[in-house]
Structure 1
C-alpha cells in the first residue's frame, strides 16, 4: 500500500506536532519526534493519540561493543 506524499506532507503528530513518516513494510505511520506509531486502516491514517502506541525499540540493530 502506498501513502499519498502530499497527505504525508500535511500530517503531523497530534501529540507533539512533529512530522511523520509512512512505513510501508508495517503499514503504519511513525512520528519522528515522540516515536508514536499510528495505525493505517483501509488506507486511512488513524491519527488519534488514544489509538497510537509508543515504539521504543530501535528500527535498526545496534552495532558496537556490548557493555556489561
Structure 2
C-alpha cells in the first residue's frame, strides 16, 4: 500500500492527544513524510501502517 493512503494515516484526534515522549511538547503531523514532528526535541517520529512509533530510538533527527 501507498504510505500516503488515507487509511494509513493516524486519526487526527489521536495526534491531538500525543506528545513527544522526551519533552512532553505537542507534535505536528507532516503529511509529506508521514511523521509526527517534535520541534522541541528536533525529532520526527515515523508512522507505520497508520501507527505512530513513539520511540526516540526510531525517530529521525531533524
TM range (shorter): 0.7 to 0.9
1:15 is aligned to 2:31: no
Q: Which runs of 4+ in 1 moved over 4 A?
A: none
Q: TM-score scaled to structure 2, two decimals?
A: 0.78
Report the aligned-residue RMSD.
1.2
Query: Quick check: which has more Rg, 1 or 2?
Result: 1
Instruction: Between the two structures, name the one with larger relative contact order (CA 8 Å, sep ≥ 6).
Output: 2
Runs (5+) with no aligned partner, structure 2: 1-5
Higher relative helix content: 2
1:5 to 5, 9, 12: 12
Unmatched runs of 5 consecutive residues or more in structure 1: 56-68
Length, aligned pairs only: 55
Secondary structure in 2 aligned to 1:15? Answer: coil
